[in-house]
Structure 1
Amino acid sequence: MKGIMLQGTGSDVGKSVLVTALCRILARKNRKVTPFKSQNMSNNSYVTVDGKEIGRAQGVQAEAAKTEANVYMNPILLKPRSTMDSEVVLFGEVYSTYSGRSYREHFYKKGIEAIKKALTELAKRHEYVVIEGAGSPVEVNLNDRELVNMKVAQVADVPVILIADIERGGVFASVVGTLQLLSNEDRKRVKGIIINKFRGDSSLFTDGVSWIEAYTGVKVVGVIPYYDHISIEGEDSLSIQNSLIKEGKKGDNGLDIAIITLPYVSNYTDLEPLAAEKDVYLRFVKNKTEFGNPDAVIIPGTKSTFHDLKYLKDNGLDIILQKYVEAGGTLVGLCGGYQMLGELLIDEAGTDTDLVGNKMKGLNIAPLKTYFNEKKLTIRSEGKLGSERWNCSKKISGFEIHLGRTLTTAEDVEPFLMIENRPEGVCLHEGKVIGTYLHHLFHNDEWRASWLNRIRKDRGMQQCAVLNLAEVRDQGYEKLADHVETYLDIDYILDVIESWKGNGQQS
């Protein structure tokens, strides 16, 4: 399998986005291409068709590559549980929990084996691989046991393109410094440089390109202008919040939907379909002073329900949410947010708090108790709505990733869904309050339109037609690919891929 690896001079220089773009560009050229990232750190998961968990970014990149996502595209997923510990998901399943130091000391050999296995499996199905690095390849204090940058390029034996973010400033120093700190062997792999996020007249940077090429001996293969219309999903909560917020104020003609901001939020990508709706404005609420008078509120998922529920209470949002529901407000709790709606949370196995039997009172909005189990449930699910109040004829599909088992404490509680005769979630107050474990609920176009139109009706606003999210997403990939291909020397990159002989050599 032939390929290329995109590494960066630092974090957030645009590696994920450019890998996504390159995957779509190659797919449009009828190449069987796959994304790959050896190790991802993110609480935004993607569930594969066989019910396994990988980083969300690789699921998105697979869509751009027009291929089905699988665990070999991201064999190692680190899901932060605290500032010190992360849960390690290996080939889609929970493997263990490590501190940063113990992970480096005890997992490295296992990680190398996983990377080799994943690349071998991908080679059986694809002709090209586009590999994403992480952070910088010259973190000199970590490089002896790194699993994400030049070690991966060596294992895969592919050339490297280095990405630098000019918006940050210091682009010349970041490029030169990175190359200088690489070993001679690794430096030979770097066959191109991309200057990303350029603003203004790119002709003003012509001398800059000439200087970089003359000083480093490496070709600048593209100066990519800043792209304001990225509609693909991000990896972390900060990037996603930035991408979801519309410019300008809501005014009187839009829906104000408040998202409760959680320290250990997971799967913020559940909310991105709402951002695609033209009259929906999402804002992120950290405390009671920011709450205002929203048209609807969403409590998203979390990697630590106990911790984030305490955070809500400490910030006074528990009382605000209770009063909001009592006044007839619209509220949706997703996964961990669903668990918080109940009366009581019990950490039976100590999997959420590391304290077996730990208990905490919930928001007391729904008659529920949640028990935290030892084994995580990770499945794709499809079910029917529990009532006919929604103008939605299609089944609801999504995925579940959770440790908790949530039970109702009252009779005749209406389930939100019926999944293979199993009641799932709750639907209270004539549909004003919904709790569910189902991630990607809002990715169901017909249901999302029905839910929003009920809110629009309450506001006296015009109803909107169903938005086809799949078309919007695919158009987003196409527009991104068009933008990048305009400014990137694709012929040169293809030549580098095809002529690569291995071990730092080209024909």
Structure 2
Amino acid sequence: MRGVMIQGTASDVGKSVICTALCRILARKGIRVTPFKSQNMSNNSYVTINNEEIGRAQGIQAEAAKVEATVFMNPILLKPTNDRQAEVVHLGKRLQTLSGRGYRETFYETGIKTIHSSLQKLEQEYEFIVIEGAGSPVEVNLNDRELVNMKVAEMADVPVILVADIDRGGVFASLVGTMQLLEPQDRSRVIGVVINKFRGDPSLFEQGVKWIEEHLNVPVLAVLPYMNDIRIEAEDSLALDHYKNKEKNGKSSLDIVVIDLPYVSNHTDLEPFLVEEDVSLRFVSRGEKLGKPDAVILPGTKSTIEALTWMNETKLTYEVQRYIEDGGTIVGICGGYQLLGETIIDEAGSDTGVKGKKSKGLGLLALETKFKDLKTTVRSAGNLLYPSNLSNSAIKGYEIHLGQTKLLDNKIASFMKLNGRNEGVYAQEGRIIGTYLHHLFFHDEWRNRWLNRLREKRGLPSKPILSYMSMQENAYDELADAFLKEWDCDHLLALIEKWESHNVDRVY
């Protein structure tokens, strides 16, 4: 199968966005293209049509490629639970939690076989593969057992494009250092360089392009501008500035606080707020910074009990409780929903590693959560039960959680009905809402009504409904168009073909 691999000089240089753009560009050319990332480390997940879990970036890239996402596009997903351990999701299913050392020592051979079989599956169905690397390909202390960069390029037998982020500085050093540290056979795979996130007049970098091409002996394929208004979901926590830049000042903006929980998961739930011009997202990690916002959002987290301990230590538990007592509004999603309750019990040890560990929640609702061994990973669809003027309105999203939450007070109203069952809570006329459904705010009518209630409370004018999902689909084309202004993709395909012709003895 023909293809190309996008690697970077570091994390967050723009690999995911470039792969997304290439997927849409190639799909528009009529090429049946698939994304691939052998091993993703992220707490942002995507649930496939078969209720399997993969990295969100590959799910988004599949959407850009206009194909249905499968586990073979991201066969290994690592979801950090703390600084030393991560949950291993293998072919869409939770396998176990391992330390970094334990993963390297016990999983490598399984990983190699899984990656090889996944590539074979994709080769049977697609014409072209866009492969995303991870971090840097020259982490010399790890490269003897790496599963994400040049080893994958070798297995798929594709050329490599190296991406460097000029906005962070040191672009020449990062490129030269990366190329020099690559093994000769790996260096020969690099067919070009892309300079990403350039601000200002690109003609000012013409001498830089010339220097890179003369000293590295590879062409600079594109100098891509800093695209501040890209509406493509960010991959991981390194990209949270994508949301934090939404903070505004002024009395005309709604002040929505997001509690900046450790090991936040699926923060892409916040994406629709980026198109709401009068909404300011303010991330708070200390109790004294909470203030009096218009609303608080408790997002998902990979470690709910650890997040609760952190909230206690930072005085956020007390300040959130006080805020709600004073009439505030809060929405908890997934782990944030669990935090709203009275008690959290790690029955299986799947949240903390300690079976039976019991913790006191925020106590805002009479709820009890127990962590089990079996993980719920499902696309869900149904209808809203509240508010009354939206009852029976269709809603859909996905759920990924180990905890199971039950109501301890039958007077608490369920928020919605999903897959034939009652789900979530709707309390105090909607001032307190909890749900396991990710993509709640993607429901345009519900988001609009929720925001307009906040606007009304502040004396601000109501706003019309914005269709986020139609904007999202358009965003893929806008991204592709922006790339095509700077990058000759026909030239890229010609370079790939030339590289293939010089490597006719490939073994796959």
Bin the TM-score by the shorter chain: over 0.9
Aligned equivalent of 1:464: 463
Aligned equivalent of 1:89: 89
Deviation, 1:270, is 0.7
Deviation, 1:7, is 0.7
Aligned equivalent of 1:178: 178
Q: Secondary structure at the match of 1:430?
A: helix
Deviation, 1:500, is 3.9
- Structure 1 residues 421 and 20: CA distance shift in structure 2, 3 A: closer
Percent same amino acid among aligned pairs? Answer: 56
Aligned equivalent of 2:483: 484
Which residue type is aligned with residue 458 of structure 1? K
Which digits, 9 at most, give the CA deviation of each residue in 1:73-94, with x for residues without a partner? 1110000011111111011101
Aligned equivalent of 1:408: 407
Deviation, 1:393, is 5.0
Does 1:70 pair with 2:70? yes
Does 1:49 pair with 2:46? no
Aligned equivalent of 1:319: 318
Deviation, 1:101, is 1.0
Deviation, 1:48, is 0.8
Equivalent-residue separation in structure 2 for 1:11 and 1:22 (angstroms): 19
Equivalent-residue separation in structure 2 for 1:410 and 1:169 (angstroms): 56
Equivalent-residue separation in structure 2 for 1:238 and 1:301 (angstroms): 16
Aligned equivalent of 2:363: 364
- Structure 1 residues 503 and 442: CA distance shift in structure 2, 3 A: farther
Equivalent-residue separation in structure 2 for 1:115 and 1:502 (angstroms): 25
Which residue type is aligned with residue 436 of structure 2? Y
> Which residues in structure 2 correspond to 1:229-378 (within 5 Å)?
229-239=229-239, 241-246=240-245, 249-378=248-377
Equivalent-residue separation in structure 2 for 1:30 and 1:59 (angstroms): 20
Please report the TM-score for the alignment, with normalisation by the length of structure 1.
0.96
Which digits, 9 at most, give the CA deviation of each residue in 1:41-64, with x for residues without a partner? 000111111111111111111121
Equivalent-residue separation in structure 1 for 2:241 and 2:72 (angstroms): 29
Aligned equivalent of 2:398: 399
> Contact conserved, 1:157 with 1:502, CA < 8 A, in 2?
no
Which digits, 9 at most, give the CA deviation of each residue in 1:126-164, with x for residues without a partner? 111111111111111111110000000000010111111
Aligned equivalent of 1:21: 21
> Contact conserved, 2:247 with 2:280, CA < 8 A, in 1?
no
Equivalent-residue separation in structure 1 for 2:232 and 2:389 (angstroms): 28
Which residue type is aligned with residue 136 of structure 1? S
Equivalent-residue separation in structure 1 for 2:213 and 2:390 (angstroms): 60
Aligned equivalent of 1:452: 451
Which residue type is aligned with residue 405 of structure 1? Q
- The number of residues matched between the two structures is 506
Deviation, 1:479, is 2.1
Instruction: For structure 1, list consecutive stretches of 5 or more residues without a partner in the other structure.
Output: none
Equivalent-residue separation in structure 2 for 1:455 and 1:390 (angstroms): 17
Deviation, 1:394, is 2.5
Which residue type is aligned with residue 107 of structure 2? F
Aligned equivalent of 1:495: 494
> Contact conserved, 2:247 with 2:281, CA < 8 A, in 1?
no
Equivalent-residue separation in structure 2 for 1:248 and 1:114 (angstroms): 42
Where has structure 1 moved over 3 Å in runs of 4 or more?
245-248, 390-393, 502-507
Deviation, 1:473, is 1.1
Deviation, 1:475, is 2.4
Deviation, 1:504, is 4.7
Deviation, 1:14, is 1.1
Equivalent-residue separation in structure 2 for 1:137 and 1:268 (angstroms): 27
Aligned-residue Cα RMSD (Å) equals: 1.7
Equivalent-residue separation in structure 2 for 1:72 and 1:367 (angstroms): 41
Aligned equivalent of 1:224: 224
Equivalent-residue separation in structure 1 for 2:228 and 2:421 (angstroms): 43
Instruction: For structure 2, list consecutive stretches of 5 or more residues without a partner in the other structure.
Output: none
Please report the TM-score for the alignment, with normalisation by the length of structure 2.
0.96
- Structure 1 residues 405 and 491: CA distance shift in structure 2, 3 A: same
Equivalent-residue separation in structure 2 for 1:90 and 1:503 (angstroms): 35
Equivalent-residue separation in structure 2 for 1:505 and 1:11 (angstroms): 33
Does 1:107 pair with 2:107? yes
